[in-house]
Structure 1
Amino acid sequence: MGLRSFLDDVGDRNVLTEPVETRFELPALAVQDERRPIVFESVADYPDVRAVSNLVSSRALIGEALGVEPSGIIDAVSTAMDDPLALERERPAAFEHVADEPDVAEHVPIPIYYDEHERQYFASTVVIAKDPETGVHNLSFHRMMYDEGNRLVMRLVERHLHDIYTRTEGGLDVAIVMGVNPAVEIAAATSFSPDMSELDLANRLLDGELATTEFHGLTVPSEAELVMGATITDERAEEGPFVDLSRTWDRTRQQPVVEVNELHARPDPLARVIVPGRKEHAHLMGIPQEPRIYRIVENTVPTVENVVLTPGGCSWLHGVVQIDKRTEGDPKNAGMAALAAHPSMKKVTVVDSDVDPADPDAVEWATATRMQPDRDIETIENAKGSSLDPSQDYETGTLTKWIVDATIPGDRERSEFAEVTVPGADELDLSEYQ
């Protein structure tokens, strides 16, 4: 199952037929309506390439990719992590050879998303590498800045791929993949054991329907839109600045140069575009963290029902934990466990089971009607936070974290705090009256 089958299943999408420029125009149009996928049928200067964005820009779309309701995303990912499924469907590659040592920008649209620091970036690139010792494949997202010709500069965070890279002499050969089923993207963004392959995780999320093919000794999705055979070299170059999750400029760093050796693409390929700092970026960073947070909170408060890292909190710095409150200490215990599970989180709000943690209006309503600051807010000073938080103390890297208990006070009747609804509002269909 590839990107195209997902688009066919979703059906509801925006399709633009007029040519769009990759500098500002394409990303500006992509963020006009982040509720549904958008297909750019014509990209200026790229007559043979289309573009697509907003595949994981809502929990509803992610639920569709995983075959579950939005409330079932955590359970689906957790189940797949517990029981990944080995690959069985090997298929011929849908992509074909385009060029050796290509000038990447001549073949693939690389947007400029923001002004002031005009950098061309791939923000949707999934890198596939093989551990030289275990043979396990690793899939992970890495932004890549276009330098010139066949040279990119990769932001290589110190995680599994970085570990593989440091144990490989003379450069690490990888496959850089763009345009795959969103379930593969979710798997690539998930914090997973180095002993397990994200390909197997994706295969479980797709119920065993992930087709793969061999590409220079690596296993890649056979229906990928674009595949680049590349080497992460020992050379360093300046990378950035880049607009990160906080929607503010990240700093520049010396990062590894990537040399693209081969470019392969499907006929009429769909170049995958993710606008940095917007909803897709936030969801791919935040949602894969939620199952891990949930599990750790569950060890402390077994009645936890859901965990959401909120888009307004950059899907990284603020979270909401939903619990079935049994005792007065449950909310604070759940909050402390959530902060420990995700050290980058600065604020956690705990709500009752009748409040949708993914609905910011519902969470604010609970905070407004069930919480008193002198009683229900706890702060933890001088805690280590996220480097993405521009408000932290830059000298020490510390900040103050807080827990907001927005649950019904235990000494009050629940009926006093129940939301009153209009009878029939959820059942009646307005269109039938038009």
Structure 2
Amino acid sequence: MGLRAFLNDEERTTLTEQVDPRFELPALAVQEESQPTVFDDVEGYQNVRAVANTLGSREMIGRALDVEPSAIVDAMGSAMDDPLSIEETAAPSFEHVASEPTIDEHVPIPVFYDEHERQYFASSVVISEDPETGVTNCSFHRMMFEEGNRLVMRLVERHLHDIYSRTEGGLDVAVVMGVHPAVELAAATSFAPEKSELALANRLLDGDLATAAVDGIEVPADAEIVMRATITDERAEEGPFVDLSRTWDRTRSQPVVTVADLYMRPDPYARIIVPGRTEHAHLMGIPQEPRIYRIVENTVPTVQNVVLTPGGCSWLHGVVQLEKRSEGDPKNAGMAALAAHPSMKKVTVVDSDIDPADPAAVEWATATRMQPDEDITVIENAKGSSLDPSQDYDRGTLAKWIVDATVPGNRDRADFAEVTVPGAEEIDLADYQ
């Protein structure tokens, strides 16, 4: 099951006028992020379309996982507990296009932001095999186009970095773009090294993921674009890049990736993820939510949901929803959440009647159920995220806070209930038109 199967089931915005991948395409992509945006005519690329925003809302992510948005955490957590090995192989949908390609002659590589004007792949999933365990690893890594068949890759010190560090003479990988959203969510998950993200994706897709081998590396058979490449021992400057906080990240010396062979589907979709925007935030935050949930659950068993909020970069701010049994529950839940995700600096704890994914509902609870002098806990001099530009860089510390936006325990809950208009939720305006 691939990207096209997902798009066929979704309402989408289709733009037929020609768009320039430098600035114009990303500017259009962020106009409406709640449903897929398809670009039928990308300037300079006659036979290539582009698609953005397949993960632009929690509602769409729920549809990709075939669950309600409120059940995303449970669906991800259950799949992480029970990944499903892939037994189905299929003929690849893609075909060989070029060896040692000049990449930007075949695939649009957007310039997302001005000032530095770097060309970046932000949707690139790198697939490799651990030579010692044989486990396939999939993970997102941004790639800056340098020239010809050369990219410079941001290699964060996680599983792929470990595999790379144990491989002499460069690591052979496949770089995949344009897959089902469930595969992207799996690739964005910090999974145990002994487990395969492809198996996680297969479980999320109820066993409907088929793979094909590209020079010995298994990749999703329905991928739109595949680059067979090597992460070399050569280094080059990578960045600056607009990161999750929507601020410029610093420049680093990173590995050069050389592309040996390029494979593409006929009339492929180039997958576009605009850095720092909603899809980027969802891919960073949603895979973290099940882990936070479980650690909070060990402390407060009545926790019901956890959401890392897009306004907080889906990384720095979160909301915990629980059924409060005692006055200490919100503070305990908040401390557990901060411990579970050390990059988070603000946790808002809400009651079970507040949707943690609805910013207006969370703000309403904060406005009507919280007093700052009693319900805010500040934790000073803590280690936070390197993505937070407000931290004290000299000391590497910041302050964190817990906001208890639950109904005070000594008050009648009825005094804090939202009064709604009878029948409003059941009415369909179309019946009156």
* TM-score normalised per structure 2: 1.00
- Please name the residue that 1:89 is paired with: 88
Query: Matches of 2:330 and 2:256 in 1, distance apart?
Result: 47
Identity across aligned pairs (percent)? 76
- Please name the residue that 2:21 is paired with: 22
Q: Which amino acid aligns with 1:34?
A: E
SS state at 1:89 partner: coil
1:120-199 mapped onto 2 (5 Å cutoff): 120-199=119-198
Q: Tell me by how many angstroms 1:317 deviates.
A: 0.2
1:49 aligns with 2:48: yes
- Please name the residue that 2:5 is paired with: 5
Query: Matches of 1:24 and 1:413 in 2, distance apart?
Result: 54
Query: Matches of 2:161 and 2:50 in 1, distance apart?
Result: 29
1:372-411 mapped onto 2 (5 Å cutoff): 372-411=371-410
Query: Matches of 2:412 and 2:237 in 1, distance apart?
Result: 60
Q: Tell me by how many angstroms 1:329 deviates.
A: 0.3
Query: Matches of 2:202 and 2:217 in 1, distance apart?
Result: 16
- Please name the residue that 1:295 is paired with: 294
Query: Matches of 1:111 and 1:133 in 2, distance apart?
Result: 37
Q: Which amino acid aligns with 2:4?
A: R
Query: Matches of 1:419 and 1:202 in 2, distance apart?
Result: 39
SS state at 2:424 partner: coil
- Please name the residue that 1:315 is paired with: 314
Query: Matches of 1:164 and 1:356 in 2, distance apart?
Result: 41
Structure 1 outlier segments of 4+, above 4 Å: none
SS state at 1:230 partner: strand
Q: Tell me by how many angstroms 1:48 deviates.
A: 1.1
Query: Matches of 1:209 and 1:227 in 2, distance apart?
Result: 20
Q: Tell me by how many angstroms 1:168 deviates.
A: 0.3
- Please name the residue that 1:77 is paired with: 76
Gaps of 5+ in 1: none
SS state at 1:202 partner: helix
Q: Which amino acid aligns with 1:218?
A: I
Query: Matches of 1:75 and 1:377 in 2, distance apart?
Result: 29
Query: Matches of 1:217 and 1:340 in 2, distance apart?
Result: 40
Q: Tell me by how many angstroms 1:271 deviates.
A: 0.4
Q: Tell me by how many angstroms 1:430 deviates.
A: 1.2
Q: Which amino acid aligns with 1:7?
A: L
1:213-362 mapped onto 2 (5 Å cutoff): 213-362=212-361
Q: Which amino acid aligns with 1:295?
A: R
Q: Which amino acid aligns with 1:288?
A: P
Q: Which amino acid aligns with 2:220?
A: P
Query: Matches of 2:385 and 2:116 in 1, distance apart?
Result: 23
Q: Which amino acid aligns with 1:83?
A: D
Query: Matches of 2:102 and 2:156 in 1, distance apart?
Result: 26
1:367 aligns with 2:362: no
The size of the alignment, in residue pairs, is 433
- Please name the residue that 1:417 is paired with: 416
Q: Which amino acid aligns with 1:114?
A: Y
Query: Matches of 1:82 and 1:288 in 2, distance apart?
Result: 13
* TM-score normalised per structure 1: 0.99
- After superposition, the C-alpha distances for 1:189-215 in whole angstroms (9 at most, x for unaligned) are 011110000000000000000010111
- After superposition, the C-alpha distances for 1:289-339 in whole angstroms (9 at most, x for unaligned) are 000000000000000000000000000000000000000000000000000
Query: Matches of 1:393 and 1:327 in 2, distance apart?
Result: 36
Q: Which amino acid aligns with 1:370?
A: R
Query: Matches of 1:308 and 1:82 in 2, distance apart?
Result: 20
- After superposition, the C-alpha distances for 1:110-165 in whole angstroms (9 at most, x for unaligned) are 00000011000000000001001000000000000000000000000000000000
Gaps of 5+ in 2: none
Query: Matches of 1:9 and 1:79 in 2, distance apart?
Result: 24
